[in-house]
Amino acid sequence: MTVSSVLALSTFLQFVAAGLAFRLIRVTGRRWAWSLIAIAITLMAVRRSVTFFRIISDDAALAPNLSAELVALAISILMVVGIASITPFFTSIQRSKKTDRDVSQILETYFESTLTCLVLLDPKFNFIRVNKAYAQACGRRIEDFPGHNHFEFYPSDAQAIFEEVVRTKKPFETAVKPFVFPDHPECGVTHWDWTLTPLLDGDGEVELLVFSLVDVTERKNAERAVVLSEERYRSLVAASTAVVWTADGEGTFVERQESWEQFTGQPWEQHKGWGWAEMLHPDDRDQLSAKWAQAVADRTEYESQGRVYHKASDAYRHYETRAIPLFDEDGSIREWVGTLTDVHERKIAEDALQASEAQTRLLLDSTGEAIFGLDLNGNCTFCNPACVRILGYNDAAQLLGKNMHDLIHHTSAEGSPYPMDECRIFRAFREGTGTHVDDEVLWRADGSSFPAEYWSHPIREGERVTGSVVTFVDITERKRADEALRESERRFRAMLETVDLVAVLLDVRGRVTFCNEFLAVVTGYDREELTGQDWFEKIVAPDQRKRAKREFLDNVASGTVAPHQEGDIITRNRETRSILWNSTVLRDTDHNIIGIAMLGVDVTDQKLADEALKQASVRTRTILDAAAEGIIAMDQRGTVETFNRAAERMFGYSVEEVLGQNIKMLMQPSDRDRHDAYLADYLRTGVKNIIGKRRELTGVRRDGTTFPLDLHVSEVDLGHRRIYSGILTDTTERKQAEQALRESEQRLQIALQSVRMGFYDYDVKTRSVIRTEGTAEILGVSYESFRGDYEDFAKRLHPEDRERVTSTIKGVLRDGAEEDGYAVEYRLVRPNGGVRWIADRSTVYRDQSGRATRILGTVLDITERKQAEDRAKMHVAELAHVTRVSTMGEMASGIAHEINQPLTAVVNFTTGSLRKLKAGKPVSDEVLHALDQASQQARRAGEIIRRLGVFVQKREPKRATVDLNDAVTEVVEFMSAEARREEVTVHLELGVDIPTVIGDNIQLQQVVLNLVRNGIEAMGEADVETRRLEIRTSRTGPKEVGVSVSDRGPGLPAGAADKIFTAFHTTKAEGMGMGLPISRSIIEAHGGRLWADANSEGGATFYFTLPVAPRERVQ
Partner 1 sequence: MNPDEPIVHVVDDDPAVRESLKWMIESGGFNVATYDRAKVFLDTYDPNRFGCVVADVRMPGISGLELQEQLAATDVTLPVIIISGYGDVPIAVRAMRTGAVDFIEKPFDDQLLLTRIREAVEKNIRSRGIRAERSGS
Which residues form the interface with partner 1 (CB under 8 A)? 893, 896-897, 900-909, 911-913, 915-916, 919, 930, 933-934, 936-937, 940, 980-981, 983, 1024
Shortest separation between residue 1013's beta carbon and partner 1, angstroms: 17
Nearer to partner 1, 245 or 909 (CB): 909
What is the spatial distance between Cα 1033 and Cα 1037, in angstroms, rounded to a whole number? 12
Closest residue by Cα to residue 370 from 359, 361, 382, 360: 382
Give residue 125's Cα distance to chain centre: 65
Residue 872 CB, shortest distance to partner 1, in Å, is 40
Please state, in angstroms and rounded to a whole number, the distance separating the CA atoms of residues 453 and 441: 8
Of 467 and 902, nearer to partner 1 (C-beta) is 902
Least separation in angstroms between residue 821's CB and partner 1 is 57
Report d(CA 260, CA 242) in Å as an integer: 9
Closer to partner 1 by CB, 608 or 896: give it. 896
SS3 713: strand
Do 382 and 749 meet the contact criterion of CB atoms below 8 Å apart?
A: yes
Residue 133: alpha-carbon gap to chain centroid: 53
Smallest distance, Å, CB 1022 to partner 1? 14
Nearer to partner 1, 931 or 990 (CB): 931
State in angstroms the smallest separation of the CB of 921 from partner 1. 9
- Measure Cα distances from 754 to 733, 745, 747 in Å: 31, 14, 10
**Taking a C-beta distance cutoff of 8 angstroms, is the pair 189, 215 a contact?**
yes
Q: How far is the CB of 905 from partner 1 (least distance, A)?
A: 4
Q: Which helix (H) or strand (E) holds 496?
A: helix 476-496
Cβ contacts of residue 119 below 8 Å, gap of 6+?
A: 127, 129, 130, 131, 134, 145, 150, 210, 211, 212, 213
Rounded Cα distance, 89 and 74, in Å: 23
- CB 1020, min distance to partner 1, A: 14
Identity of the residue, 440 or 898, whose beta carbon is nearer to partner 1 in the bound complex: 898
Nearer to partner 1, 294 or 911 (CB): 911
Is residue 687 within 8 A of residue 591, CB to CB? The reply is no
Residue (142 or 977) nearer to partner 1, CB:
977
Least distance in Å: CB of 834 to partner 1? Answer: 58
* Between 403 and 937, CB nearer to partner 1: 937
What string of DSSP letters covers 406-429? HHHSSB-TTS-B--GGG-TTTHHH
Smaller CB distance to partner 1: residue 908 or 1034?
A: 908
Minimum distance, C-beta of residue 895 to partner 1, in the bound complex (Å)? 11
Q: Shortest approach of partner 1 to residue 928 CB, angstroms? A: 12
Nearest to 333 by CA among 77, 138, 43, 622: 622
Q: Which is nearer to partner 1, 753 or 985 (CB)?
A: 985
DSSP 875-902: HHHHHHHHHHHHHHHHTHHHHHHHHHHH
Q: Closer CB to partner 1, residue 19 or residue 912? A: 912
Q: Are 768 and 788 spatial neighbours (Cβ–Cβ below 8 Å)?
A: yes
Residues 6+ apart with CB under 8 A from 843: 356, 358, 820, 821, 855, 856, 857
Considering the complex, what minimum distance in angstroms separates the CB of residue 825 from partner 1?
51
Task: Tell me the residue type at 532.
Answer: G
Q: How far is the CB of 972 from partner 1 (least distance, A)?
A: 17
According to DSSP, the residues that pair with 861 across neighbouring strands are 838
Nearer to partner 1 by Cβ, of 96 and 936: the residue is: 936
The CA distance from 555 to 565, in Å, is 12
| One-letter amino acid for residue 273 of the chain | G
CB of 931 to partner 1, least distance (A): 10
- Considering the complex, state which of residue 780 and residue 894 has its C-beta at the smaller distance from partner 1: 894
> What's the min distance (Å) between Cβ of 957 and partner 1?
34
What is the spatial distance between Cα 107 and Cα 113, in angstroms, rounded to a whole number?
A: 10
Side-chain-side CA neighbours of residue 1087 (13 Å):
13
- Least Å distance, CB 1040 to partner 1, is 37
Q: Return the closest-CA partner of residue 711 out of 624, 641, 629.
A: 629
Got the DSSP string for 1017-1057? HHTTTS-GGG-EEEEEEEEEETTEEEEEEE--SS-SPTT-T
Of the pair 240, 933, the CB lying nearest partner 1 is at 933
Nearest to 1007 by CA among 1075, 930, 1059, 959: 1075
Question: Judged by CB, which is closer to partner 1: 770, or 930?
Answer: 930
